[in-house]
Amino acid sequence: MSDAAAKRYDVAVIGAGMAGMAAALFAAERGLSCIQIGSGGGILFASGLLDLLAVQPVAQHRLWQSPYDALAALAREQPGHPLARVDPASVRTAFETFVAALRSAGLAYAPLGERNSHVITSIGSVKTSYGVPLTMVAGVAALERRLPCLLVDFRGLREFSARQIVETLAHEWPALRQQRIEFPGFEAVPELYAAHLARALENRETRERTIALIKPLLGDACVVGLPALLGLGQSSAVHAAFEAGLGLPVFEIPTMPTSVPGLRLLGALEAVMSARGVTRRQLSSVCDLTFDGGTATLDLNGAPGGERIQARAVVLASGRFSGRGLTADRQSVRESILGLPVQQPPAREDWHQRDFLDPAGHAINSAGLMTDEAWRPLDASGKPAWAKLFAIGSILAEQDWMRAKCGSGLAIATAWAAVEQITQQLHEAP
């Protein structure tokens, strides 16, 4: 395919996880034409919660009430961490912009403040997070105040057990109890799936029958918790109907992945991309990426005959191993598209600690790309690989997002910072 036939964009984003979605959103909102390449399937594993930063330092597992206090500690103690390199004001603006975009697509989050929230999970643990969907907010207050609470689950829904949650939290939340009911219309079905139930609850009759089954069980409950299946595309309306029907605050509890909140998040982000004119190639991947002066040429597979596009800037948001941004063999870790140098332990035997559950984590968890101050990945000589190639999200080195509980924060903040650099450079270019 000739360059003359290539479609041209200001920005090409490689990756459709949280970082890729955030970069495409921020680029589009700055008026840049954008194409996004890759599947957002990884978002299906999301809980719906948007972590900013909860643990610092990781080895001591110190939990922070304020993510911004945690960011200040991170900047002092680990200045090379990608999140520490984004100023707090930009982090706030990035999160507010991202959440506002989700709200415009029908997925509402609680107002973002100064504190992290504590959310119970489907196994009875307590997760510290920052951005909480409105459908889960009542559970934050109920947990904090230890209110009399009824948890309801459904016979056949194997991925969620209210009894397990109650037994796990009994010592610290004695006013928590549980009941199991049949899901209306699914009484003869041996195994239930949350996505099917979520769709069913968008039907008014099914919803009213479910509410009628729960109401006699309320007792002294001040709040009701349910697995996160109160609708897919209509979660706000379904949640409001349950609160009105039961006359009590109702909250959802994140379920095991792949989850309904993940489906909602992916659906909302896809709607955001469409509304802002982002071109998407969900079934394609980049098989070749070359640079010539001020233009990058990307050859894509996935379409008959392939496709060639050109862009003035490229964002690598391809993730680590699960996103295939990084690949590993028995000797080393490699960046998958350009073969960029990866910061990693010098020897294979140094990748992991002897104790799999070592609280400090494993050295391989911090492997990734090094960048300059403008978020441009470095080549073997230590210089930017291309003036307008940028790297964001979990592919970056010097961070362990899972243990630090900063996955969304890392994605959103670095996307914002990189797109600021892109906007400045493209506006300066002739």
Query: What is the signed CA dihedral for 400, 402, 406, 411, rounded to 10 degrees?
Result: 80
Which of the listed residues 209, 224, 253 is the one where a domain comes to its end? 253
Whether 117 is in a domain gets the answer no
- Residues 85, 205 within the same domain: no
- Residues 400, 277 within the same domain: yes
Structure tokens of 202?
């968008």
Whether 234 is in a domain gets the answer yes
- Residues 291, 419 within the same domain: yes
User: What's the pLDDT score for residue 1?
Assistant: 56
Look at strands 307-316 and 295-301 and give their pairing: antiparallel
Whether 109 is in a domain gets the answer no
Q: How many CB atoms lie within 10 A of CB 247?
A: 11
User: What's the pLDDT score for residue 3?
Assistant: 66
Burial class of residue 47 in the structure, from the number of CB atoms within 10 Å of its CB (0-12 exposed, 13-18 middle, 19+ buried)? buried
Instruction: Kindly state the percentage of the chain with pLDDT values over 70.
Output: 99
Is the confidence at residue 71, as pLDDT, over 60? yes
Whether 111 is in a domain gets the answer no
Whether 177 is in a domain gets the answer yes
- Residues 139, 214 within the same domain: yes
* Structural domains counted in the chain: 2
| Mean pLDDT score, 146-166 | 96
Which of the listed residues 201, 230, 253 is the one where a domain comes to its end? 253
CATH of the domain at 155: 3.40.50.1860
- Residues 88, 146 within the same domain: no
Give the model's confidence band at 314: pLDDT under 50 very low, under 70 low, under 90 confident, else very high: very high
Lowest mean pLDDT among 238-252, 265-279, 343-357: 343-357
Whether 259 is in a domain gets the answer no
| Mean pLDDT score, 187-212 | 96
Note down the domain range covering 50.
3-104+264-428
Give the model's confidence band at 223: pLDDT under 50 very low, under 70 low, under 90 confident, else very high: very high
pLDDT (tens digit per residue) in 368-400: 999 999 999 999 999 999 999 999 999 999 999
Describe the crossing of helices 18-29 and 88-104 by its angle, rounded to 10 degrees: 90
- Residues 269, 390 within the same domain: yes
DSSP-based three-state secondary structure for 301:
strand
Instruction: Tell me what the pLDDT averaged over the chain comes to.
Output: 94
- Residues 348, 231 within the same domain: no
Give the model's confidence band at 2: pLDDT under 50 very low, under 70 low, under 90 confident, else very high: low
Give the model's confidence band at 355: pLDDT under 50 very low, under 70 low, under 90 confident, else very high: confident
Give the model's confidence band at 401: pLDDT under 50 very low, under 70 low, under 90 confident, else very high: very high
Q: How far apart (Å, rounded) are the C-alpha atoms in residues 217 and 154? A: 14
| Mean pLDDT score, 348-356 | 84
- Residues 21, 165 within the same domain: no
User: What's the pLDDT score for residue 322?
Assistant: 86
- Residues 280, 395 within the same domain: yes
User: What's the pLDDT score for residue 361?
Assistant: 82
Lowest mean pLDDT among 11-25, 234-248, 337-351: 337-351
Whether 258 is in a domain gets the answer no
Give the model's confidence band at 182: pLDDT under 50 very low, under 70 low, under 90 confident, else very high: very high
Which of the listed residues 209, 233, 253 is the one where a domain comes to its end? 253
- Residues 239, 329 within the same domain: no
More confident residue, 345 or 197: 197
- Residues 97, 138 within the same domain: no
Q: How far apart (Å, rounded) are the C-alpha atoms in residues 369 and 335? A: 8
User: What's the pLDDT score for residue 363?
Assistant: 81
Q: Cβ distance 275 to 250 under 8 Å? A: no
Look at strands 250-253 and 7-14 and give their pairing: unpaired
Which residue, 44, 97, 74, 119, is CA-closest to 282?
A: 44
